[in-house]
Structure 1
């Protein structure tokens, strides 16, 4: 499935973003609701876990059944299910009630705690709670004026010794990009370090659907020791 939306869908998303004056991510609910259960109208919905997450899971193991994970902006739930199958106790949230209902419908017997929540105003009980935090293309979906708030909120979710796996588009300039999405810059990536995380691994990858877009997968940790 192509993740590049047709021109009419892309234009529709741009219009939704421009009309979301009350909240910078309110347009997600509009998109999910208007799709009426058709995943082909959700441009990032592949119905499988992200390949970079799958690769990370293949290269790691956990022995503690109490390890917790959270998926930000979980969409239709495939990443969350992969983490649950791996052995994490998973919380997955999205600002869209329709997306969360869709997850529960797709995975009726899931062990994942699917819930509606706002990254820009997260549950205070989640602070430093999660051993593994997955941020897959979420910050890049937010306008630049709320980016620092989003990055701080993400960093605050990571437990001591925890991991943040960031999957994002990247821009090699600090100039404001056109969007959505709005790829992250090096200065914005550095903000995760300012918030107390250490970058321990980074690689650039090519997405088959968008070979023209620079993509990064970065692993951060709250300390310098590798995850095991």
Structure 2
């Protein structure tokens, strides 16, 4: 039987050695579609840390963006609450599988690279969900990914970041490369402010909320 973590680690190492930090995602999803690998983050139920966070944000309206959506489980849940949901992944195979799993979906699924997002997404979303995508990327591209994700949050909008926890000074062989608190805090920018950073010990996860306070007073009127 295939080992999900080993599959991801093998493909990531091959891709990163070629200085291609994101190419391994399509390789992994392709091998999974062929029955030769398992996607380690594939789930049949929405992420509980996302679910409890977004349920508390009623009324559920506006535009939502899901980063690195994979097969779409979280995206479908968010859309079911009433959000106009866009979800993207760098893997065409992942997006094709999401369409196959949810043929009646109202989610707008797109193929996109977090390191080169469409200009039309700049400050366009009221809710942005980033769960374990950045931690799957090597350190040398991580800040570019963080900046790109932060740039999609509309004035008055919120960003949720979910990531594994890494203690300061601890080296890990990834993927994944869980984030330190400093790396979580780096999602704050000239526009975004951290409003809550939780250490969810039971899940060994960070759950952090950031808000784009530029124009937030107008957005709340």
Q: Name the TM-score, length of structure 1 as normaliser.
A: 0.86
1:63 and 1:133 map into 2 onto residues whose CA distance is 13
1:198 and 1:174 map into 2 onto residues whose CA distance is 25
What are the superposed Cα offsets for residues 142-199 of structure 1, whole Å, 9 maximum, x if unpaired?
0000011011001001000110011101212145432110011122122212353111
- Structure 1: unaligned runs, 5 residues or longer: 1-5
Question: Which one is further off, 142-151 or 167-176?
Answer: 167-176
2:60 and 2:49 map into 1 onto residues whose CA distance is 22
> Aligned to 1:41, what secondary structure does the other structure show?
coil
Q: Which aligned segments of 4 or more residues in structure 1 are displaced greater than 3 angstroms?
A: 6-9, 224-228
1:99 and 1:168 map into 2 onto residues whose CA distance is 21
1:174 and 1:69 map into 2 onto residues whose CA distance is 35
1:114 and 1:45 map into 2 onto residues whose CA distance is 17
Which residue pairs with 2:148 in the alignment? 153
Task: Verify the 8 A CA contact 1:71 1:135 in the aligned structure 2.
Answer: yes
What are the superposed Cα offsets for residues 1-25 of structure 1, whole Å, 9 maximum, x if unpaired?
xxxxx88443332221121125201
Select the residue among 41, 49, 59 that pairs with 1:44: 41
1:112 and 1:173 map into 2 onto residues whose CA distance is 38
- Structure 2: unaligned runs, 5 residues or longer: none
Task: Verify the 8 A CA contact 2:130 2:161 in the aligned structure 1.
Answer: yes
Which residue pairs with 1:120 in the alignment? 115
> Aligned to 1:160, what secondary structure does the other structure show?
strand
Which residue pairs with 2:206 in the alignment? 216
Which residue pairs with 2:129 in the alignment? 134
> Aligned to 1:167, what secondary structure does the other structure show?
strand
User: CA RMSD for the aligned pairs?
Assistant: 2.5
Select the residue among 181, 184, 188 that pairs with 1:186: 181
